[in-house]
Amino acid sequence: MEMETESNAKKILISIPIAPYIRIEQELVTWLIKNIVHYNFQHPGRYKISYDFVEGKPISSVRNHAINRFMASEHDFVLTVDSDIVPPENCIDELMKWNLPIVGALCFSFQYGHPFPVILNKTDGGYSVIKNIGKIRLQECKATGASCLLIKREVIVKMKEQLLKETKKTMFYESKFNEQGEISCGQDFVFCDNAEKVGYKIYVDTGLHCDHKVDRVSLKRVNDLLVEQSKSNESAINKLQSTIGELNKSLSEERAKNNGKSRDTRKQEFTKV
């Protein structure tokens, strides 16, 4: 059995792209410091953690620049974490345990007034959110966000070769647009497409829930509250249906009883006649 030493520790770069006008969450900084202290000082030998804040605009350019900086380093893995994301405390350990080229934690985004988990499959003309997540801990999907995604170096190496061959440029992240100039495929979904083209599958650990802060609001908390409310509503509806069922049963029994009495009365009257 190979002993864990600093020389064979897997090097992980935590790359934090900062989108325009998005602040760095203090909770993310705290998470980062805890992981650096834990893996580099308290328990050295397993992983060697480094970090890289990358600023600029637009966000697709920032993400591409971040990946290029990772490739210029000697790290084995890059963990991309958006500046408004707070990963769970054990995120690095749990993602690394899967030993996969691409695996992410579950993140939430916001659309049409509701948060949704960013774990999708392809449908005709687009993408749809995978239902009933959580039943399968490690869920394969066709697309997820780049908000908390662990990527092995070999993925980027092969993707770069393919992109240079096809397009003569290395746009790992690049949004696609339709004829009306509207985004038809987001830049993080394009990354997933590019990975699939060179033979890699996308996985999400549905047991790892990141918190996404949008205008200081926790989307995870909003989602949890909506799920809670949905369960509460379902319980109320079930209770109402049960009560109505009992009332209907009671009413039927009362009617049957009254019909029986009515028949008895008619029998008595017929006998008298």
What's the first-to-final CA gap in the chain, in angstroms?
104
pTM of the full structure? 0.75
- Residues in the chain with pLDDT values less than 70: 1-7, 112-113, 175-186, 214-245, 247-248, 260-273
Residue 272, phi then psi, degrees to nearest 5 = -65, -40
| pLDDT at 175 (0 to 100) | 60
pLDDT tens track for 86-95? 999 999 999 9
| pLDDT at 13 (0 to 100) | 97
| pLDDT at 2 (0 to 100) | 44
HSE-CB for 57 with a 13 A CA cutoff: 4
Of 92, 88, 95, residue with least CA distance to 30? 88
Residue 201, phi then psi, degrees to nearest 5 = -100, 155
pLDDT tens track for 124-175? 777 888 888 878 899 999 999 889 999 999 999 999 999 888 888 777 777 6
| pLDDT at 126 (0 to 100) | 79
CA distance 167 to 185: 18
| pLDDT at 77 (0 to 100) | 98
